[in-house]
Amino acid sequence: MRYLALAVSALLALPSPAHAWGKTGHRVVGAIAEPLLTPSARAGVRGILGVETMAEASNWPDFMRADPEPYWQRQSTPWHYVTVPKGKSYPQVMPPAEGDAVTALRRFTAIVRDRHAPLAERQAALRFVIHIIGDLHQPLHAGNGTDKGGNEVSVTFFGKPTNLHSVWDSGLIDDEQLSYSELATWLAARIAPADRRAWASTDPAVWIAESTALRDHIYPTDPALSYAYVYQNKARVEQRLEMGGVRLADYLNALFWPDRKRR
């Protein structure tokens, strides 16, 4: 895969709509995670990304979906979500033939670990790892298989026509009118040591189970969403961003654990 050539061609393409946490949400997850990295993980990330921060890297897979190449228009599309019908768990559901976020995370993790892989491929893989972990903490990225993760659920948000997925990707976050760095700073300050211990998990099945449990409670009875819906879900959104940041750090700390390099 000629990642560098694809990246250059993407600069000429129009930006694509948000397909996961919006830009702010993904950056918040990356910004929360970065200070929680161990020295080994920090060195590993810097060795691959250079001066590019995790917040900056976090939106690259969505940005690249504007590239007209079939790899980005078709092949990579399923890597941003999983499908788990109501009443099921992810381990009970076989991933589709084209793969999903979990199979992609596994594959890109292997590329990041491969020190013989070309740097450009490891960079792309690490950006995907950062992005996918954020995606799996957005409850509608564990879709129920009936409405494309809420994309087919029409609502209005403060009078503007949209869909439920978009409200969770960006509407609830952008309603705060904060920059990603402001929001990340506020949320990170709230994460207590007890939270980090309680949330510690590098298992995507755990993250997905949380997302599906939350997903089944966020569908509104009234499609006209405004202050009441924000009030009901603000804390939920913020906690998922916090948990995504903690889990991203945990995952990378395990990935770059020094003993692993000697195996």
| pLDDT tens figures, 81-126 | 999 999 999 999 989 999 999 999 999 999 999 999 999 999 999 9
Domain segments of the chain as ranges: 3-261
Beta bridge partners of residue 162, listed in sequence order: 155
The per-residue pLDDT for 190 is 97
As a whole number, mean pLDDT of residues 213-218 equals: 96
258 band by pLDDT with thresholds 50, 70 and 90: confident
- On the question of pLDDT at 243 being above 50, the answer is yes
Q: Which CATH architecture has domain 3-261?
A: Orthogonal Bundle (1.10)
Q: How far are the Cα atoms of 32, 186, 207 from residue 183, in angstroms, in the given order?
A: 10, 5, 22
- On the question of pLDDT at 2 being above 50, the answer is no
> How far is Cα 177 from Cα 249, in angstroms, rounded to an integer?
26
Single out the residue of 8, 45, 29 nearest to residue 132, CA to CA: 29
CA-angle at 103, arms to 132 and 50, nearest 5°? 45
Q: Are 141 and 78 in contact (CB under 8 A)?
A: no
Task: Name the burial class of residue 40, with classes exposed (0-12), middle (13-18) and buried (19+) by CB atoms within 10 angstroms of its CB.
Answer: middle
252 band by pLDDT with thresholds 50, 70 and 90: very high
263 band by pLDDT with thresholds 50, 70 and 90: very low
204 band by pLDDT with thresholds 50, 70 and 90: very high
Task: Name the burial class of residue 155, with classes exposed (0-12), middle (13-18) and buried (19+) by CB atoms within 10 angstroms of its CB.
Answer: buried
More confident residue, 94 or 135: 135
Q: Are 99 and 78 in contact (CB under 8 A)?
A: yes
pTM of the predicted model over 0.85: yes
1 band by pLDDT with thresholds 50, 70 and 90: very low
The per-residue pLDDT for 94 is 87
